[in-house]
């Protein structure tokens, strides 16, 4: 079974040379996946001329031999011009390089550049290559390569499944996105290029897969359009630009401008999407909380999970009150998903295409 990866394309060397915007283009032009940690980085400029010559001779021996690269990093000790003994990268092969060398045929890799997202497939010809003779490669910091990658331009952020977008928020250079829904949707998207994967180009239409496809912004929009459809509440645009972690935005009743509600939305399946009631006690209005895969706790310092049951798949449930005695509600993610399904079929329900498009991949 193929795996799915996310690669950042801004090696430190490229940033130093102010060439980071050219890395992705070069990667696709050369049909490679590539990262840094070349032997011309780190302690290279501290070495004696004699050791530099030895190192350059060693580089020539690496070529397609990752084990030789590891041997140089882990075992060899070099003398600096100050007479000190040092190892490259503290004698440890970077974990990103190990992951790069473990890529396998039919694995898929996501990258982005200048607002565009690309998906690459590892082919039967792909292999590790240590490239260093080309001056452009040295300047870009893309010496450690995996070759013969078939690239496909997917589109802009609105065309990318949410779980993949979230993976770009993480700092590591190369990571695996280890979720079945991500593998399935990535293969379906790649099949738009050449129908390579022999799969059913649909994934199961359930709550978990649906929310995996939504970006965090899509999830906020979905809840907004529900409140607009059901109660004609309108968002105050400026409240979505405050940068507060307490709420995403504020909405006003179209019938009574004094009535306002606070919205908080977390989409995903990790501790980062957990919510805590004591964060919302000072808000002066009703509060609606949505977490699609997390837990809701009474307090941060006391990990007591609230037991929440939605009777008859009801949309909301009261779970507390603010200090000003305004109610705090939790949103039922299952009911919200059902509303989105209804909107996909019912054109009278206002809903952006950025959300509805994902039902084309769900069966």
Residue 208 lies in a domain: no
Residue 117 lies in a domain: no
At residue 351, the pLDDT reads 96
Residue 187 lies in a domain: no
Q: Taking each helix axis from N to C terminus, what angle separates 216-231 and 333-345, rounded to the nearest 10 degrees?
A: 80
At residue 259, the pLDDT reads 87
pLDDT tens-digit series, residues 23-37:
999 999 999 999 999
At residue 144, the pLDDT reads 95
Residue 313 lies in a domain: yes
At residue 257, the pLDDT reads 83
Residue 223 lies in a domain: yes
pLDDT tens-digit series, residues 260-316:
999 999 998 777 889 999 999 999 999 999 999 989 998 877 678 888 989 888 999
Please spell the DSSP secondary structure of 238-267, one letter per residue: GGGGS--SS-SEEEE-SS-TT-EEEEEEE-
Q: What are the residue ranges in the chain where pLDDT is below 50? A: none
CA 295 to chain centre: 21
At residue 304, the pLDDT reads 83
At residue 243, the pLDDT reads 65
Residue 233 lies in a domain: yes
At residue 95, the pLDDT reads 96
Residue 315 lies in a domain: yes
Its domain, for residue 302, covers: 214-354
| Total structural domains within the chain | 1
At residue 173, the pLDDT reads 96
At residue 150, the pLDDT reads 98
Residue 323 lies in a domain: yes
Give percent helix, percent strand, percent coil of the chain, each to the nearest 5: 40, 20, 40
| Maximal C-alpha separation, the chain | 81
At residue 307, the pLDDT reads 87
CA-to-CA separations, 59 to 41, 55, 63, in angstroms, rounded: 13, 6, 7
């Amino acid at each position: 079974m193929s795996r799915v990866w996310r690669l950042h394309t801004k090696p430190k060397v490229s940033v130093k040379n102010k060439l980071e915007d050219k890395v992705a283009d070069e990667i696709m032009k050369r049909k490679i996946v590539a990262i840094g940690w070349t032997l011309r980085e780190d302690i290279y400029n501290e070495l004696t001329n004699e050791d530099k010559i030895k190192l350059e001779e060693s580089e020539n021996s690496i070529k397609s031999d990752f084990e030789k690269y590891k041997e140089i990093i882990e075992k060899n000790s070099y003398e600096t011009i100050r007479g000190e003994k040092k190892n490259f990268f503290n004698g440890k092969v970077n974990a990103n390089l190990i992951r790069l060398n473990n890529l396998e045929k039919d694995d898929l890799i996501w990258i982005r550049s200048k607002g565009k997202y690309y998906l690459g497939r590892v082919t039967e010809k792909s292999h590790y290559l240590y490239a260093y003779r080309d001056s452009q490669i040295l300047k870009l910091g893309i010496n450690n390569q995996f070759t013969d990658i078939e690239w496909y331009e997917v589109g802009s952020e609105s065309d990318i499944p949410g779980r993949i977008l979230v993976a770009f928020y993480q700092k590591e250079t190369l990571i695996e996105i280890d979720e079945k829904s991500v593998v399935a949707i990535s293969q379906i998207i790649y099949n738009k290029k050449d129908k390579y994967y022999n799969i059913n180009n649909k994934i199961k239409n359930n709550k978990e897969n649906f929310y995996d496809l939504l970006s965090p912004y899509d999830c906020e929009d979905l809840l907004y359009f529900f409140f607009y459809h059901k109660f004609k509440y309108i968002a105050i645009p400026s409240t979505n630009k405050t940068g507060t972690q307490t709420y995403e935005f504020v909405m006003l009743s179209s019938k009574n401008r004094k009535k306002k509600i606070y919205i908080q939305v977390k989409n995903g399946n990790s501790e980062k999407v957990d919510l805590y009631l004591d964060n919302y006690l000072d808000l002066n209005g009703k509060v609606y909380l949505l977490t699609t895969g997390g837990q809701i706790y009474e307090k941060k310092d006391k990990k007591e999970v609230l037991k929440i049951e939605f009777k008859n798949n009801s949309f909301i449930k009261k779970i507390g009150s603010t200090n000003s005695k305004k109610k705090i509600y939790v949103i039922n993610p299952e009911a919200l998903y059902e509303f989105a399904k209804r909107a996909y079929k019912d054109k009278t329900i206002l809903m952006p295409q950025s959300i509805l498009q994902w039902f084309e991949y769900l069966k």
